[in-house]
Structure 1
Amino acid sequence: MKIGYARVSSTGQDYQTQLDKLQAAGCEKIFHEKQSGKSADDRAQLQAALEFAREGDVFVITKLDRLARSMNDLTTITSQLQKKGVGFVVTDQQIDTTTPTGKLLFNILGSLAEFERDLINARCDEGRKAAKAKGVQFGRKPKMTDEQLDTLKADVKAGILSMQAIADKYGIARNSVYRLAGAKEAA
């Protein structure tokens, strides 16, 4: 039996093209999901498809990156299939691991996919570092200015207002007053 697996990363994407190709490849059972490809462990339909596969079956996908984004995941999945006696086919890249040439091509393309992911991560890291060097602040903007924070600390130190009254004055939560003032919350 040919078992198909289709995946897209977000709800805005459509896997109908993958489903059409898997049906054209003769898949009798197709598993599909909208889930990130970052980790194979987090994909319920992939796990169900791998569990469903039996000796003599062929596991079919349209592209390697629909199955995994790391060589480690790719190797783990294909080793699992191999141990079960299940063939592996990637239609768009014409990979068939039941042949020596298909195994070679699979390993080369898997390594390239991992290399591409590493390059993307490196470029993002460089971009973050460059932005920080230019003074870009990441994360949410502070709700309070430095002056407001100094005044809040003075209010806490003076002890005239309750912590809740100070929180209401600045439009923040009471536990934020404790955190910002460096005070210990009473039990």
Structure 2
Amino acid sequence: MARIGYARVSTTDQDLTVQLERLAAEGCSVVRSEKVSGGSRDGRVELETILQFLRPGDELVVARLDRLGRSTRDVLNIIHEAEERRAFVTVLDPHVSTRGEMGHLVMTVLGMVAQMERRFIKERQRDGIERAKAEGAYKGGKARFDHALAVQLKGQGFGPSAIARRMGCSRMQVYRMLSKN
């Protein structure tokens, strides 16, 4: 029986340290982490790896339920997949586990709260963007990578993989930057 930790943040500029330290302090023998949105299961390779390798009696541990997912359906599906492997899911804050029936109820409610919170965040973001556009202050999101550098490196003969490694991004991001020029 292993305690396997899972940590997630939504963007590459966010820090995983607090979650990783908390999971280690809880005795997780393995901790997998990723920087990807929790809005859906798409692209969450580390979570999929954990779910594939859960054994009977193992425990998937997350710091907060919203780290597992922001959709009630996704959270419940993850719990279901763990249970199909006769494993448990434990959330540290607030401390809830699927080891008991009450844990299932609380997880469902917390999943619904996480989904509602995500909707509120999106609404506030949309309202803020509309207000900024009306005031003429909205210029779009901040560019995360230097597009000119990508073009310059391409001109120097670097391929997309080499550019991605040098800039600390994915090849797909390099293709997108180069297609805009």
TM-score over 0.5 (shorter chain): yes
Q: Does the Cα contact within 8 Å between 1:41 and 1:47 map onto a contact in 2?
A: no
In the alignment, which residue of structure 1 is the partner of 2:7? 6
Distance in structure 1 (CA, Å) of the matches to 2:131 and 2:93: 38
CA–CA distance in 2 between the matches of 1:20 and 1:129? 39
Gaps of 5+ in 1: 141-187
TM-score of the pair, normalised by structure 1? 0.66
Which SS does the other structure have where 2:15 is aligned? Answer: coil
For 1:94 and 1:25, the matched residues in 2 are separated by 12
1:5 is paired with a residue whose SS is: strand
| Distance in 2 (alpha carbons) for counterparts of 1:43 and 1:14 | 17
Query: C-alpha distance in 2, partners of 1:9/1:126?
Result: 21
- Per-residue CA deviation, residues 61-111 of structure 1 (Å, 9 max, x unaligned), is 111111101111111111111111110101121011111222222111111
- CA distance 1:131–1:9, change in 2 (3 Å): closer
Which digits, 9 at most, give the CA deviation of each residue in 1:85-138, with x for residues without a partner?
110101121011111222222111111111111222233444555666x48597
- With over 3 angstroms needed to count, the CA separation of the structure-2 counterparts of 1:71 and 1:129, relative to structure 1, is same
CA RMSD of superposed structures (Å): 2.2
Structure 2 residues not aligned, in runs of 5+: 141-181
Q: What is the CA distance between 1:29 and its match in structure 2?
A: 1.2
Identify the residue that residue 49 of structure 2 maps to in structure 1: 48
Q: 1:128 to 1:100 in 2, by over 3 A?
A: same
1:143 is matched with none
Which residue is 1:34 aligned to? 35
Aligned equivalents of 1:101 and 1:19: distance in 2? 27
Larger Rg belongs to: 1
Residue in 2 that maps onto 1:95: 96
3-state SS of paired residue (1:21) = helix
User: What corresponds to 2:119 in structure 1?
Assistant: 118
1:69-84 → structure 2 map (5 Å cutoff): 69-84=70-85
What SS class does the counterpart of residue 7 from structure 1 fall into? Answer: strand
What SS class does the counterpart of residue 33 from structure 2 fall into? Answer: strand
- The amino acid of 2:69's aligned partner reads A
Decide whether the 8 Å contact of 2:132 with 2:138 is kept in 1: no
Q: When the two structures are aligned, how many residues end up with a matched partner?
A: 139
Pairwise CA distance, 1:41? 2.4
| CA deviation string 1:32-60 (max 9, x = no partner) | 11222222121111111111111111111
Identity within the alignment, %: 38
Match of 1:68 in 2: 69
1:90 alignment partner AA: V
Distance 1:103 1:123, change over 3 A: same
Question: 1:10: how far off?
Answer: 2.1
2:102 aligned partner, one-letter code: T
In structure 2, what is the equivalent of residue 109 of structure 1? 110
